[in-house]
Amino acid sequence: MESQLGIFKHSFDSRYSNWAREALDELPDCFTITDPCISGHPIVFASNEFLKMVGYSKDEVIGKNGRIFQGPETDRRSVMEIREAIRAEKSVEISLLNYRKDGRPFWVLFQMCPVFGKEDGRVINFVGVQVPILRKVRSEKKLCKDGTGFGDSVFRSCRREVCLDRVWAVSVESVGSHDDREDEINEPCESSELEKTKANTAINNILSVLTHYSELTGRLVCRKRDFSTGNDHLLSSLNISLGRIKQSFVLTDALLPDLPIVYASEAFLKLTGYARNEVLGRNCRFLSGTDTDLATQFQIKECIRIQQACTVRILNYRKDGTSFWNFLHISPVRNATGKVAFFVGVQIDDGCKNQERQSPETRQLGVVGAVKVAVRGLSMGAGTS
């Protein structure tokens, strides 16, 4: 157990140092930091205020996935929305019903954002802030005879334990039946502008600490993906030529870690449902999902490693979560000196029947040929080495 906790702590400390832990613990916010690079996407840091809120000790939380705080009445659609945000490497803000260690449910405004490595644009961590939500008190139309207003189900509010820092909260445990209370806690609980502001402020403060201490270790992080490519000049000239190609394809930079996408065709954006700014800078594996075959992914990785072309049929996922069988061809693209500068990936929806005269293989090779001609021609003119 100790060795496992050591791995999770090292994941955090190697990026930010031990001092970052002390600085984060001084923040008055409820939050966790997770590491998507470790199997299971575990929590590697939990604030003291968060631990007080959920009733767990630090050793019970570190190394666990955030789903330990979910329970029988946690909305599955909300959970899927969070998972999709993680897969798409983007921020999300949502009201969520969580559970404490003793089983008591409570509503939070959950705001999560990715933290990117400045040197390569990879997602390093996710910061998840939880702000307890208090539903506004609402009275029934009719009051009791004594004028107190404490009639049946007189107040519609979240439980007192939900409203940790609101002294004017009203506990539904003092009124109504047990069934009323269960209905109340399960009823959707919307956050206020004040709670949203509190979450935004917490996110900014946490990211400020992480950014500062990553500078001390020389492993800088940032809130937005920021990458530059050795092929920048070539790409700016290539855009016009590549824009003439009507098939679905992406171009990834072989000179940068993790092969980020540096060009995506209009047909690719239409096929996957993503906007261009949601695609550029990311590795193509963001299209993978729950049922994507790992063996096929490994085959692609090996072909890229040895700089060889390959053709596979792989299950991918669109932005809206729907899956499609991708008949995918990947090929290295060399510049004028013979060095691999890019990889081109050409996608065809295997389930889409069309009236194309050419076979899928011929169409894919046509795209690869057009990209290679454009890259070699422009790199010769630019003197790219």
pLDDT tens across 320-346, in order? Answer: 999 999 999 999 998 877 889 899 999
pLDDT grade for 373, boundaries at 50, 70 and 90: confident
Query: For residue 106, what pLDDT is reported?
Result: 94
Cα radius of gyration rounded to whole Å, the chain: 26
Question: Which of 48-62, 157-171, 362-376 shows the highest mean pLDDT?
Answer: 48-62
Mean pLDDT of the region 42-70: 95
Same domain (yes/no): 270, 362? yes
Query: For residue 143, what pLDDT is reported?
Result: 39
Provide the sign of the torsion angle of the four alpha carbons 142, 145, 148, 152, taken in this order: negative
Same domain (yes/no): 209, 317? no
Mean pLDDT of the region 255-268: 87
Q: How far is CA 89 from the centre of its chain?
A: 3
pLDDT grade for 163, boundaries at 50, 70 and 90: very low
**Full residue range of the structural domain in which residue 199 is found:** 2-133+189-222
Residue 227 lies in a domain: no
Only one residue has tokens 């330990």, namely 68
How is 192-213 classified by DSSP, letter by letter?
A: PHHHHHHHHHHHHHHHHHHHHH
CA–CA dist 81, 94 (Å, integer): 9
Residue 241 lies in a domain: yes
Same domain (yes/no): 239, 365? yes
Residue 23 lies in a domain: yes
> Which pair of tokens denotes residue 269?
């954006």
Same domain (yes/no): 212, 75? yes
Does pLDDT of 381 surpass 70?
no
Same domain (yes/no): 86, 205? yes
Provide the number of structural domains found in the chain. Answer: 2
Query: For residue 354, what pLDDT is reported?
Result: 62
Query: For residue 234, what pLDDT is reported?
Result: 61
Kindly compute the dihedral angle of the four CA atoms of residues 228, 230, 231, 236, in this order, to the nearest 10 degrees: 50
pLDDT grade for 226, boundaries at 50, 70 and 90: low
pLDDT grade for 5, boundaries at 50, 70 and 90: low
Q: How far is CA 281 from the centre of its chain?
A: 14
Please count the CA atoms within 13 angstroms of the CA of 275 that sit on its side-chain side. 3
Same domain (yes/no): 218, 305? no
CA–CA dist 94, 96 (Å, integer): 6
Does pLDDT of 302 surpass 50?
yes
* Position with higher pLDDT, 264 vs 164: 264
Residue 179 lies in a domain: no
249: buried, middle or exposed (CB in 10 Å: 19+, 13-18, 0-12)? buried
The answer to whether 157 and 119 have CB atoms below 8 angstroms apart is no
Residue 171 lies in a domain: no
Among 23-32, 275-284, 372-381, which stretch is predicted with the lowest mean pLDDT? 372-381
Same domain (yes/no): 327, 369? yes
Same domain (yes/no): 51, 193? yes
**Cα dist from 374 to 23, 254, 326, whole Å:** 51, 16, 25
**CATH number for the domain harbouring residue 293:** 3.30.450.20
| Secondary structure class of 290 (helix, strand, coil) | coil
Does pLDDT of 60 surpass 90?
yes
Same domain (yes/no): 125, 258? no
Measured at the CA of 314, the angle between CA 312 and CA 319, to 5 degrees, comes to 135
pLDDT grade for 236, boundaries at 50, 70 and 90: low
Nearest residue to 222 (alpha-carbon basis) of 114, 87, 93, 129: 114
pLDDT grade for 312, boundaries at 50, 70 and 90: very high
> What proportion of the chain, given as a percentage, has pLDDT over 70?
78
| Secondary structure class of 113 (helix, strand, coil) | strand
pTM of the model: 0.54
Same domain (yes/no): 203, 329? no
Collect all residues with Cβ–Cβ distance below 8 Å to 315 and sequence separation of at least 6: 289, 291, 292, 293, 323, 324, 325, 326
> What type of residue sits at position 314?
I
Residue 182 lies in a domain: no
Q: How many C-beta neighbours within 10 Å does residue 278 have? A: 17
Among 11-25, 110-124, 151-165, 234-248, which stretch is predicted with the lowest mean pLDDT? 151-165
Residue 147 lies in a domain: no
